[in-house]
Amino acid sequence: MQADAISNLTAAAALLGGLAVLVALLALLAARTARRKLAALMREGEGSRAGQLAQLLEVTAEHGRQLRDGSARIAGLELAAQRAVSRIGHVQFQAYDDAGAGQSSSLALLDDVGSGVVITTLHARVGTRIYVKRLVHGESETVLGEEERAAIDAALRPPSDTRRAK
């Protein structure tokens, strides 16, 4: 019985050894095939499909970087635009009855929320005076004249649509 067990074990070991050799041969064949494919890709270079794919992937990655950079720039510009002068109102008037010929004026320069300055010039025979008043949300810390308030109101008024209907 011992002889039968030993012969069975020997047959199983031989079978396992043969199977291991077969797996090793298959692995060598797969490695050789992979090496041949890699060598072919290396020879074909940038004109190959793989080379073209690699170039497209690189271009796509660069476009992604540019898109992120562009989005950040746009966000910064949108923030800056909120503080930029975007509303302007102007009123011209005669400050004094005896001089000026309507040369006095108030100019409101405001951002999107109505903050900025109103500049008033009062023209007289002996000279011109200039006043600058700071505005926060359309309101001043100092008293505003009638013409200054009119310039601010003109700046805060929504623009009229001047396009012609077709």
151-164 pLDDT per residue, tens: 999 998 887 655 54
Q: Decide if 8 is inside a domain.
A: yes
Q: Decide if 161 is inside a domain.
A: no
Q: Decide if 31 is inside a domain.
A: yes
Residues 66 and 97 occupy one common structural domain: no
Task: State the total domains in the chain.
Answer: 2
Which residue, 101, 104, 114, 102, is CA-closest to 158?
A: 114
Query: The whole model's pTM is what?
Result: 0.53
Six-digit token string for 43: 């020879």
What per-residue confidence (pLDDT) applies to 100? 57
Q: What percent of the chain is modeled with pLDDT above 70?
A: 84
Q: Dihedral, CA atoms, 31, 36, 39, 43, nearest 10 degrees? A: -170
Residues 23 and 62 occupy one common structural domain: yes
Q: Decide if 164 is inside a domain.
A: no
Residues 70 and 99 occupy one common structural domain: no
Residues 106 and 145 occupy one common structural domain: yes
Averaged confidence pLDDT in the chain = 82
Q: Decide if 165 is inside a domain.
A: no
Q: Residue 36: give the domain boundaries.
A: 2-80
Query: What is the per-residue pLDDT across 46-85, written as a single tens digit (0 to 9) for each?
Result: 566 777 778 888 888 888 888 888 888 888 888 887 778 8
* CB contact at 8 A, 151 and 89: yes
Collapse the DSSP code of 163 into the 3-class scheme (helix H, G, I; strand E, B; otherwise coil) and give the result: coil
Domain boundary among 80, 99, 126: 80
CA-to-CA separations, 158 to 111, 112, 153, 155, 163, in angstroms, rounded: 13, 11, 10, 8, 15
Residues 93 and 136 occupy one common structural domain: yes
Residues 121 and 147 occupy one common structural domain: yes
Which residue, 159, 114, 108, 158, is CA-closest to 139?
A: 114
Cβ atoms within 10 Å of 144's Cβ, excluding its own? 17
Collapse the DSSP code of 119 into the 3-class scheme (helix H, G, I; strand E, B; otherwise coil) and give the result: strand
